Amino acid sequence: MKHHLPSLEALKVFESAARHLSFSLAAEELCITKGAVSYQIKKLEESLDSALFRRSIRQVFLTDAGQQLLKTTQSVFADLSQTLNQIKPSGSAHDVHIAATTYVAMRWLSPRIARFGEHSPDVSIVLQHSVNSEDFKLQDVDIAIRWCRCGVDRDSSRLLELPMPLFPVCSPGLLAKSGLDSMALKRSQMVTGELASTALLCEDRSFDVWQEWYGRQEASLPQPRRIIADANVRTQAAIDGQGWTMADALMISELESGLLVSPFRHQLEGYGYALMVAPGRFLNTKARSLIDWLLSDNVKPSIE
């Protein structure tokens, strides 16, 4: 649809002159000459076939038409400014905004950013960790890395999936205290003996990952759940012997060092992490280059 509107420049000049009731102050604000202001106002009045100002020797006043146009232009410019601020990526043109938990940032993302920085040192990365908060919005960041189900419900926002099976781990001391020293325990042993009263560390109560691992159709696990939202804190709690935690391949250093042990063979499949970008979000060249790097450097750790 074609719009028959005056030029945006003329409307900007009018709004400034009308707000100040001064051509001189408008010229100063817009960094143009007073003659340029007068010219734009004259052309605007001619296009509207209506006077917008009443001129006196030392001052100008708005006509009824001018007051009406001022109200509309200020409203339109305010709406336009708000929309442009929402569209425009926050920060400088070199900023790349990434959302990831501290657990993923430390164990998966950080070494990759370090390698990326070796050939792209000019990229400024802003990392925030509220990716799991209720008010998190994917469109507010360039890249998000989130824990999720993998292999199902794929959509255009997921650029890469990193499936990582989940498995129970605990400290060697906690396992020894239970009287079990086997490194090939059966799931059924989780509800017998000392293990039946050992706390299960988890993120929240909305999804019982422990029951999912044990089997939905099986008997309910009797152990108390201990809620620890931060995965790094849960890991340390397990090392300290507070209970069992659910691990994935990102916890490989604790397993290799012997701080934690993984005595169960059974693993919960179908979960992992996804590298996500909001559909339709504008990405600057720096964000695109980092995404390309992450997609090409996507070898996930594994635990034999």
Work out the percent of the chain whose per-residue pLDDT is above 90: 52
Q: Which residue has the tokens 């102050």?
A: 25
pLDDT (average), residues 151-167 = 87
**Run of H or E residues at 48:** helix 34-48
302, part of any domain: no
Taking 70 as the threshold, does the pLDDT of residue 302 lie above it? no
Last residue of a domain, one of 59, 87, 115: 87
255, part of any domain: yes
Co-location of 181 and 228 in the same domain: yes
Q: Which residue has the tokens 């990193």?
A: 162
Model pLDDT, residue 62: 93
Taking 60 as the threshold, does the pLDDT of residue 304 lie above it? no
Which tens digits make up the pLDDT trace of 74-95?
A: 999 888 887 876 666 555 555 8
Say if strands 143-149 and 271-276 run parallel, antiparallel, or are unpaired.
antiparallel
147, part of any domain: yes
Last residue of a domain, one of 68, 87, 106: 87
Co-location of 202 and 230 in the same domain: yes
How far apart are the C-alpha atoms of 276 and 256, rounded to whole Å? 30
Last residue of a domain, one of 87, 106, 141: 87
Model pLDDT, residue 276: 92
Which tens digits make up the pLDDT trace of 194-209?
A: 788 899 999 987 889 9
Co-location of 277 and 161 in the same domain: yes
Co-location of 128 and 81 in the same domain: no
292, part of any domain: yes
Model pLDDT, residue 2: 63
Which tens digits make up the pLDDT trace of 184-193?
A: 888 888 888 7
Phi-psi region at 91: left, alpha or beta (left = phi > 0; alpha = psi -120 to 50): left
Model pLDDT, residue 85: 67
Co-location of 249 and 179 in the same domain: yes
CATH number at residue 62: 1.10.10.10
Co-location of 171 and 156 in the same domain: no
158, part of any domain: yes
How far apart are the C-alpha atoms of 72 and 295, rounded to whole Å? 48
Co-location of 50 and 135 in the same domain: no
How far apart are the C-alpha atoms of 297 and 152, rounded to whole Å? 23
- Residue 197: give the domain boundaries: 167-268
Closest CA to 44 of 13, 68, 75, 76: 13
Co-location of 140 and 264 in the same domain: no
Range in 41-45, 188-192, 224-228, 295-299 with the lowest mean pLDDT = 295-299
pLDDT (average), residues 1-9 = 77
CATH number at residue 153: 3.40.190.10
173, part of any domain: yes
Number of domains present in the structure of the chain = 3
251, part of any domain: yes
2, part of any domain: no
Cβ(250)–Cβ(111) below 8 Å: no
Co-location of 141 and 282 in the same domain: yes
Cβ(271)–Cβ(147) below 8 Å: yes
Co-location of 100 and 142 in the same domain: yes
**pTM for the whole structure:** 0.66
Model pLDDT, residue 1: 52
Co-location of 276 and 159 in the same domain: yes
Co-location of 80 and 100 in the same domain: no
Confidence of residue 58 (pLDDT cuts 50, 70, 90): confident
Structure tokens that stand for 13 in this block: 């000049």
